C-alpha cells in the first residue's frame, strides 16, 4: 500500500459507539506497552475508554484510517495563546512504515494553524540514564519532521504520584516546532498588521456574541493599497480574509478563524461633498457622512435607522431606510464604487450591482461615490 491511502479525520457521532471507543483505547495502550517497555515496572495503561470517549466528544482526537480501518490516532490541545500541543500519537504496530504518523502530525499542525497557533509542542518521556530504542527512534523521527528539544524536566517534579510505578528514572523533554511557513513574511504596509492577543480577541467577536473565531492577525490599513496587499498575501499563504466595520455582523460572518481580519474602520475619511454626491471611505459611518454633508445642506437620500453603521457594511447588503420606498435601498444610489477583489486587485465599478454581485466574502469595498440630496 502507498502512503496516499492514509486518511485522517476528526470524530463523528458514529465513533462514539462502545466498540469503537474500546478499539481506540486498546490500540493506544498496545502501542504504548510496546514503545515504553522497560520504563514501567509493569504495563501501565496509557488511557481508558472514559478518556477516549471524552476526547472523541470534544473533537480533540484525530483519527487515521487505511481503507476505512482505524490504524492510528493523536490527541490535540490548545496550551496557551499561540501554542498547540499534540500527544498520544499512535500507529498500529502492524501498519508501520505507511506514513500514518506523518499524516496525523500534519493534520494536528494544520488544526493548530487554523487556531492561529505559531508553535506546536509535544512531550517525550525518556529514561534518564540509558538510551531506550523506541525513544531514540522517536527523537530522530521528530527531528526529521521539524521538531527540536527545548526544555527537559525531571519526571518526579511533574508526576510525583506516578514515580512508584517507574522501573527507571525518567525525564520529560518538551519538543517544539514553529508553524510559520517559509516565505510568509507580511508585505510592506502603510498601516499596521497586529498579532497581539488583544487585537485578535476583539476581532473574534461580533454583534451576536455567539460565534467566536480567532484570526491569526488583524490589519489596521492606512490605504486601499494595504487592503490589496494583505489579500494577495493571505491568498499566498492559504489564509481566509474577512473585512470588519462596526462589528454588527452575526454568526461569525465577518470573522476569519486562523486568517486575517481587515479593520475597515481605519479607512473612514469623507473625501468630498459635491452638489449631487459624496465621496467616502468604506469604513466611515453614516453619522460621519452626515456630519460632512449637513453643513452644506445635503443628505444621502436613504439612511439606516441606526447611523453608527459603516458605509461599506450597509452597501454590501443593500441598506434599507425609512425612505427606501421612494429612493430604493442605499446601494441603488451609488454612482461608483472602488473595490478590492478576492485576488487583491483594485477596480472601479458602477453601479454597485455590477461591482460585487453577491459580493459578501468576495470583495472589499474601499471607497464609494453615493448620491446626496437637498436636506428637507
Q: What is the pLDDT of residues 176-228, one digit of tens each?
A: 998 865 456 788 999 999 988 788 889 988 888 888 888 888 999 999 999 99
Give, for 350, the enclosing helix (H) or strand (E): none
133 and 162 share one domain: yes
Check whether 376 has a pLDDT greater than 70.
no
212 and 296 share one domain: no
Instruction: Please give the biggest Cα pair distance in the chain.
Output: 89
Give, for 90, the enclosing helix (H) or strand (E): strand 83-91
Q: Are 365 and 282 in contact (CB under 8 A)?
A: yes
Query: Which residues, at least 6 apart from 353, have a Cβ–Cβ distance to it below 8 Å?
Result: 331
Instruction: Compute how many other C-beta atoms are within 10 angstroms of the C-beta atom of residue 153.
Output: 12
Tell me the three cell numbers of residue 68.
476505512
Residue 209 lies in a domain: yes
Residue 186 lies in a domain: no
Average pLDDT over every residue of 358-362: 30
Identity of the highest mean pLDDT range in 11-20, 247-256, 331-340: 11-20
Q: What length does the chain have? A: 376
Backbone angles phi, psi at 95, to 5 degrees: -120, 15
Check whether 115 has a pLDDT greater than 50.
yes
Average pLDDT over every residue of 32-61: 93
Higher-confidence position of 97 and 51: 51
Range of the structural domain that residue 168 is part of: 3-178
47 and 28 share one domain: yes
Residue 107 lies in a domain: yes
Check whether 354 has a pLDDT greater than 50.
no
259 and 295 share one domain: no
26 and 157 share one domain: yes
57 and 18 share one domain: yes
Choosing from 251, 266, 281, the residue where a domain stops is: 266
Cα distance between residue 265 and residue 221, in whole Å: 9
34 and 65 share one domain: yes
Check whether 47 has a pLDDT greater than 70.
yes
Average pLDDT over every residue of 287-303: 90
Q: What is the pLDDT of residue 73?
A: 97
262 and 241 share one domain: yes
Cα distance between residue 331 and residue 371, in whole Å: 10
83 and 205 share one domain: no
Amino acid at each position: 500500500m502507498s502512503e496516499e491511502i492514509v486518511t485522517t479525520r476528526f470524530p463523528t457521532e458514529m465513533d462514539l459507539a462502545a466498540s469503537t471507543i474500546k478499539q481506540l483505547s486498546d490500540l493506544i495502550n498496545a502501542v504504548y506497552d510496546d514503545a515504553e517497555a522497560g520504563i514501567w515496572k509493569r504495563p501501565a495503561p496509557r488511557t481508558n475508554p472514559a478518556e477516549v470517549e471524552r476526547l472523541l466528544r470534544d473533537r480533540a482526537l484525530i483519527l487515521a484510517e487505511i481503507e476505512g480501518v482505524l490504524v492510528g490516532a493523536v490527541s490535540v490541545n490548545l496550551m496557551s495563546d499561540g501554542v498547540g500541543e499534540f500527544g498520544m500519537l499512535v500507529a498500529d504496530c502492524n501498519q508501520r512504515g505507511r506514513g500514518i504518523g506523518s499524516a496525523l502530525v500534519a493534520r494536528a499542525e494544520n488544526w493548530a494553524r487554523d487556531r492561529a497557533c505559531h508553535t506546536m509542542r509535544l512531550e517525550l518521556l525518556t529514561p534518564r540514564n540509558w538510551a531506550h530504542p523506541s525513544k531514540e527512534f522517536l527523537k530522530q523521527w521528530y527531528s526529521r519532521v521539524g521538531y527540536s528539544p527545548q526544555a527537559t524536566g525531571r519526571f518526579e517534579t511533574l508526576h510525583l504520584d506516578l514515580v512508584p510505578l517507574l522501573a527507571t528514572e525518567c525525564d520529560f523533554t518538551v519538543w517544539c516546532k514553529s508553524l510559520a511557513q517559509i516565505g510568509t513574511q507580511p508585505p510592506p504596509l502603510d498601516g499596521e498588521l497586529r498579532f497581539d492577543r488583544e487585537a485578535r480577541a476583539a476581532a473574534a467577536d461580533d454583534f451576536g456574541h455567539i460565534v467566536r473565531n480567532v484570526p491569526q492577525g488583524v490589519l489596521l490599513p492606512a490605504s486601499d493599497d494595504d487592503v490589496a496587499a494583505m489579500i494577495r498575501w493571505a491568498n499566498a499563504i492559504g489564509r481566509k480574509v474577512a473585512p470588519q466595520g462596526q462589528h454588527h455582523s452575526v454568526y461569525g460572518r465577518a470573522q476569519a478563524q486562523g486568517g486575517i481580519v481587515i479593520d475597515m474602520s481605519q479607512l473612514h475619511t469623507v473625501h468630498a461633498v459635491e452638489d449631487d454626491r459624496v465621496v467616502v471611505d468604506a469604513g466611515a459611518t453614516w453619522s460621519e457622512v452626515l456630519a460632512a454633508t449637513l453643513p452644506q445642506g445635503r443628505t444621502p437620500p436613504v439612511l439606516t435607522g441606526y447611523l453608527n453603521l459603516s458605509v461599506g457594511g450597509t452597501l454590501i447588503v443593500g441598506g434599507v431606510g425609512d425612505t427606501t420606498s421612494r429612493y430604493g435601498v442605499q446601494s441603488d444610489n451609488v454612482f461608483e464604487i472602488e473595490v478590492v477583489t478576492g485576488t487583491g486587485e483594485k477596480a472601479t465599478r458602477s453601479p454597485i450591482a455590477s461591482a460585487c454581485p453577491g459580493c459578501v466574502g468576495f470583495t472589499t469595498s474601499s471607497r464609494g461615490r453615493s448620491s446626496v440630496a437637498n436636506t428637507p
